């Protein structure tokens, strides 16, 4: 028997060879999880007519694989069987297969209500998911090289942790009506993404959803939105955005590294209350853009004095300059917090501010008018 094949009880556990073309032996009825994982020289594989089951991530990182044909016999395919196959152009399925089908090289279940995998190197640049599709199986489009436009029909009601992770040429996406959240890392590193149409039922944008979307300069958020997650727009290209009043919580770093670049940023007092003030990043974000409008957020700052000592010293000086935050009643509390946390530069600035605005009595401890 060919020593390249590790077979036990008719299960192909692992392929150890380096051939470009592989024909799976007739004795195999099942291909185990990750059996061909990392076979970088493999360009084509013939799956035997006795194979009934294909495991999860069977062809993981088979970077030279260009095409696969699934025979009649296969009745079960595990999750992400063609993940990180960067040159895979098409997945073909025998017309007589009882469980699976293909259309334009895209893998579906038999009745085409589930889209399983869009090949990473498909030549298709604009794709509209057919109306009959109701389910997108886990991450069917991640790492797609050539895809520029994706329209997800409103027939899609189930998306299993859906991501368009590192679709580097993707420019346009229309999300379906019944989507309730933008998943974690959904558009991560989609550097050419310019337009995302978000429907009115989306309630949450999860962490790092738009991180590194350098070409995304504006985004319309729906009134249904209530939550924006950690680093959701980190290192994004946004220059303008409107956050609706429906937003109740904005986690730390949600707009990290971009607020200072905004040309227009609308925010209401109710939205400013949604920021996680316990995190320095969020506090600094608002300070960078709203120092000219302290009335929008000074009341919130007064309620979260412990956060002030964590912002960078340049922004802290700007807070002092507004003359809106520190009062005779709260300044000693903040000074003590600065001392306890060894923020001595903040302490010195606060002490000077206390002297200039409120004066000291003979003990140097109590404020006087």
Residue 306, pLDDT score: 59
Range of the domain at 327: 302-369
Mean pLDDT of 41-68: 94
Buried b (16+ CB within 10 A) or exposed e, 16-25: eeeeeebebe
pLDDT band at 331 (very low <50, low <70, confident <90, very high): confident
290 against 184, higher pLDDT: 184
Q: What is the pLDDT of residues 199-227, one digit of tens each?
A: 999 999 999 999 999 999 989 999 999 99
CATH number at residue 25: 3.80.10.10
Q: Could you give the count of Cα atoms lying within 13 Å of 168 in the half-sphere of its Cβ?
A: 5
Is 321 part of a structural domain of the chain? Answer: yes
Asked if residue 183 lies in contact with residue 160, where contact means CB atoms within 8 angstroms, the answer is no
- How high does pLDDT run on average in the chain? 84
Instruction: Describe the chain by its helix, strand, coil percentages, rounded to 5.
Output: 20, 20, 60
Out of 88, 112, 128, a domain closes at 88
Asked if residue 13 lies in contact with residue 32, where contact means CB atoms within 8 angstroms, the answer is yes
Q: Tell which residue, 215, 309, 212, 221, has the closest CA to residue 267.
A: 221
Out of 88, 115, 141, a domain closes at 88
Residues 294 and 276: their CA atoms lie apart, in Å, by 18
Is 325 part of a structural domain of the chain? Answer: yes
Out of 88, 110, 125, a domain closes at 88
Residue 267, pLDDT score: 45
Buried b (16+ CB within 10 A) or exposed e, 158-188: ebeebbbbbbeebbbbbbbeebebbbbbbbb
Is 193 part of a structural domain of the chain? Answer: no
Is 41 part of a structural domain of the chain? Answer: yes
What is the domain count for the chain? Answer: 2
Asked if residue 249 lies in contact with residue 228, where contact means CB atoms within 8 angstroms, the answer is yes
Both structure tokens of 342: 């060894």
Q: What is the edge-to-edge ordering of all strands in the sheet holding 44-46? A: 21-23, 44-46, 67-70, 90-93
Mean pLDDT of 53-78: 95
Is 355 part of a structural domain of the chain? Answer: yes
Asked whether residue 109 carries a pLDDT value surpassing 70, the answer given is yes
Residues 354 and 367: their CA atoms lie apart, in Å, by 8
Residues 39 and 57: their CA atoms lie apart, in Å, by 12
Q: What is the pLDDT of residues 248-307, one digit of tens each?
A: 888 777 876 665 555 444 444 455 555 554 444 455 455 554 444 555 555 555 555 556
Q: What is the pTM of this model?
A: 0.75
Is 339 part of a structural domain of the chain? Answer: yes
Q: Residue 260 carries which DSSP code?
A: G
Asked if residue 162 lies in contact with residue 186, where contact means CB atoms within 8 angstroms, the answer is yes
Is 54 part of a structural domain of the chain? Answer: yes
Q: Tell which residue, 20, 26, 105, 100, has the closest CA to residue 64.
A: 20
Buried b (16+ CB within 10 A) or exposed e, 54-74: bbebbbbbbbebeebebbebb
Is 239 part of a structural domain of the chain? Answer: no
């Amino acid at each position: 028997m060919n020593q390249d094949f590790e077979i036990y009880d008719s299960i192909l556990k692992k392929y150890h060879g380096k051939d470009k073309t592989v024909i799976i032996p007739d004795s195999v009825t099942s291909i185990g999880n990750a059996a061909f994982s990392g076979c970088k020289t493999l360009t084509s594989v013939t799956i035997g007519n006795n194979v009934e089951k294909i495991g999860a991530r069977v062809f993981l990182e088979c970077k030279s694989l260009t095409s696969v044909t699934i025979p009649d016999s296969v009745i079960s395919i595990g999750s992400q069987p063609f993940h990180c196959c960067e040159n895979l152009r098409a997945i073909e399925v025998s017309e007589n297969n009882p469980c699976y089908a293909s259309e334009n090289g895209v893998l579906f279940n038999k009745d085409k209500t589930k889209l399983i995998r869009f090949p990473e190197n498909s030549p298709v640049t604009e794709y509209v998911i057919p109306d009959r599709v109701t389910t997108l199986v886990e991450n069917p489009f991640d790492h797609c090289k050539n895809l520029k436009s994706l329209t997800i029909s409103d027939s899609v009601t189930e998306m299993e942790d859906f991501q368009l992770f590192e679709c580097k040429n993707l420019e346009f996406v229309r999300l379906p009506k019944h989507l309730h959240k933008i998943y974690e890392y959904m558009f991560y590193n989609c550097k050419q993404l310019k337009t995302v149409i978000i429907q009115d039922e989306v309630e949450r944008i999860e962490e790092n959803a738009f991180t590194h979307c350098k070409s995304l300069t504006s985004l319309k958020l729906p009134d249904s939105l209530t939550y924006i997650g950690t680093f959701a727009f980190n290192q994004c290209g946004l220059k303008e955005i409107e956050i609706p009043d429906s937003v109740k919580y904005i986690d730390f770093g949600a707009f990290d590294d971009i607020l200072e670049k905004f040309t227009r940023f609308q925010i209401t007092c109710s939205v400013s209350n949604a920021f996680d003030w316990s995190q320095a990043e969020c506090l600094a974000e608002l300070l960078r853009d709203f120092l000219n409008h302290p009335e929008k957020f000074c009341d919130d700052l007064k309620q979260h004095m412990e956060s002030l000592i964590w912002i960078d010293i340049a922004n802290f000086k700007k807070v002092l300059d507004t003359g809106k935050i520190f009062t005779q009643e709260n300044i000693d509390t903040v000074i003590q917090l600065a001392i306890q946390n060894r923020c001595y530069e903040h302490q010195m600035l606060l002490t000077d501010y206390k002297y200039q605005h409120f004066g000291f009595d003979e003990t140097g401890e109590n404020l006087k008018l």
